[in-house]
Amino acid sequence: MNLKRVVVTGIGALTPIGNTKDEFWKGLASGVSGAAPITHFDASLFKTQFACEVKNLDIEQFIERKEARKMDPFTQYAMVAVEEAMGDSGLDLEKLDLSRAGVIWGSGIGGIKTFQDEVMAFSQGDGTPRFNPFFIPKMIADIAAGFISIKYGFRGPNFVTVSACASATNALIDAFNLIRLGKADVFISGGSEAAVTESGIGGFNAMKALSQRNDSPQTASRPFDNDRDGFVLGEGAGALILEELEHAKARGAKIYAELVGGGMTADANHITAPHPEGLGASSVMRIALEDAGLKPEQIDYINVHGTSTPLGDVSETKAIQQIFGEHAYKMNISSTKSMTGHLLGAAGAIEAIACIMAMQHSLVPPTINHFTDDEAFDPRLNLTFNKAQEREINYALSNTFGFGGHNCSVIFKKYN
């Protein structure tokens, strides 16, 4: 079958280190940490009292107050990032076949703040069931895609993928496949998450998944460091406009990059821990390479899942060495979660954008907060510690792995 080619023609980002794609890239290139004491609620009694929050966002600059009240923050974040991406794409809705334009979004949790607030209000009342009429539509994860399609009139395929921290990458792969199969011309894709809440922090604390470095939040996310003690929770959204190549060329669109391959696998091992030998991670990278028709030695940069957890970081580097062999020591590898924190279901979107911007600027963003080597990691691996490195990047791979053993990889190619 003659598969169509898929390109990225618009980008939008709302992140803990920048509220636009350009601010986000500036933060990445400069090695800025987005971690700080939590402001969304009083976290003084929690084991972890910091996170990577979105900062200085006036939602009413983007969404009318009455409409915003119908949305959980995860949907609000999605709308902000998509607005930037759509504007960036230059798509003319009057000239677009809206029946061939769709939305595939990703969110691992959805409206957790809405669910928490409504249940807490009920439990503190007199037992009379008084719930907000928007409780259910604000909470359900698919509502972000619904709101996006309503705003832009996109009548093609419309859904949200839920695969924990792999959700946004799953969404990108689904959109990629539908376009190259000729089922649609354009997709708004990406992901959003807003889990910096009492229940979000408390739940991850109970799992012992979060760093508790309350005395130094900005240095708490330290992938591959000997003293890493868990991830830092982040929030925000990333949006990409994926478009069939000839459709994009016909309208004279600027093209950021080409999406050339994707892979999806399962560890089938444990509900939260990665496979100790990186079995699922290695197979998903191999499948993505095969899908793209690439040899391992063609990859220049890997944006790793790299959450700063004791088991996950080791498992992923083992997988990279299994797949890439000697070439593993010639690539650049970095974890941008050291700066943004872990955006859960939105991680794959902003990390895909990081890969694309790295290609555009021939600059590999760093893994910040490296202080002490861990002998579990081969010193020959270039983990791009502490400072961005200049490099021509023709192919970049991005990994995202989720609780439940979900693994996704995507590969982007510099568009010439």
- Active-site residues, by number, are 165, 305, 342
Taking the C-alpha atoms of 139, 141, 144 and 146 in order, what is their torsion angle to the nearest 10 degrees? -100
Helix (H) or strand (E) holding 174: helix 167-180
Alpha carbon 228 to its chain's center: 21
* Nearest Cα to Cα of residue 302 among 190, 239, 223, 415: 223
* Nearest Cα to Cα of residue 108 among 53, 163, 189: 163
- Take residue 63 and report the two structure tokens written for it: 């969404």
The residues, any chain, with a CB within 8 Å of residue 72's CB and separated by 6 or more, are: 110, 111, 112, 113, 114, 138, 139, 143, 194
Cα angle 327, 328, 332; round to 5: 110
Q: How far apart are CA 394 and CA 126, in angstroms?
A: 62
Contact 257, 172 (CB under 8 A): no
Q: Residue 233's beta-bridge partner residues?
A: 342
**CB neighbours of residue 170 within 10 Å:** 29
3-state SS, one letter per residue, for 288-348? HHHHHCCCHHHCCEEECCCCCCHHHHHHHHHHHHHHHHHHHHCCEEECCHHHHCECHHHHH
Contact 273, 315 (CB under 8 A): no
